[in-house]
Amino acid sequence: MRTHDRLRIAIQKSGRIGDPARELLARAGFAFRQGQDKLFCRGESLPFDLLLVRDDDIPGLIEEGSADLGIVGLNLVEERRMETEPDRLRVRMPLGFGRCRLAIALPDLAEWRGPETLEGRRIATSYPVTLARWLQAEKVSAEVVQLSGSVEIAPRLGKADAICDLVSTGATLAANQLREAATVLESEAVLVGPEPPFTDGRADLAALLERRLQGALGLRATRLLLCQAPRDALPAILGLLGDAEPPTVTRIEGRDDAVSLQALCRSAMTWQRLEDIKRAGASGLLVLPVEQMLA
Find the shortest distance in angstroms from Cβ 168 to Zn ion.
Answer: 15
> Looking at beta carbons only, is 12 or 222 nearer to ligand PRT?
12
Taking the complex as a whole, how short is the minimal distance between the CB of residue 85 and ligand PRT, in angstroms?
23
Binding site for ligand PRT (CB under 6 A): 12, 15-17, 54-56, 73, 75-76, 98, 100, 165-172, 187
107 contact choice in Zn ion, ligand PRT, none (CB below 5 to 8 Å, kind-dependent): none
Name which of 77 and 213 has its Cβ closer to ligand PRT. Answer: 77
Yes or no: say if 80 and 194 are a contact pair by the CB < 8 Å rule. Answer: no
Nearer to ligand PRT, 7 or 17 (CB): 17
User: One-letter amino acid identity for 44?
Assistant: E
3-state secondary structure of 221: coil
Which one of 56, 63, 138, 243 is in contact with Zn ion (CB under 5 A)?
A: 56
* Helix or strand (DSSP H, E) at 182: strand 178-187
C-alpha distances (whole Å) from 25 to each of 63, 109, 112, 130 are 22, 45, 43, 29
Question: Alpha-carbon distance 292 to 277, whole Å?
Answer: 25
> Which residues have C-beta within 8 Å of that of residue 271, sequence separation ≥ 6?
none
Per-residue binding string, Zn ion, 251-280, x by CB under 5 A, is ------------------------------
Contacted entry of ligand PRT, Zn ion, none for residue 180, CB cut-off 5 to 8 Å set by kind: none
Please report whether residue 55 would count as binding Zn ion according to CB under 5 A.
yes
Q: Please state, in angstroms and rounded to a whole number, the distance separating the CA atoms of residues 104 and 166.
A: 9
- Toward ligand PRT, which CB reaches closer, 46 or 153? 153
Please report the DSSP string for 63-97 in residue order. Answer: HHTS-SEEEEEHHHHHHHHHHSSS--EEEEEE-S-
For residue 148, the minimal CB distance to ligand PRT (Å) is 10
Alpha-carbon distance 96 to 268, whole Å? 15
The DSSP 8-state label assigned to residue 231 in this structure reads: G
Min dist CB 269 to ligand PRT, Å, is: 27
- Report the partner that residue 94 touches, choosing among Zn ion, ligand PRT, none (CB closer than 5 to 8 A by kind): none
Residues at the site binding Zn ion, with contacts judged by CB under 5 A: 55-56
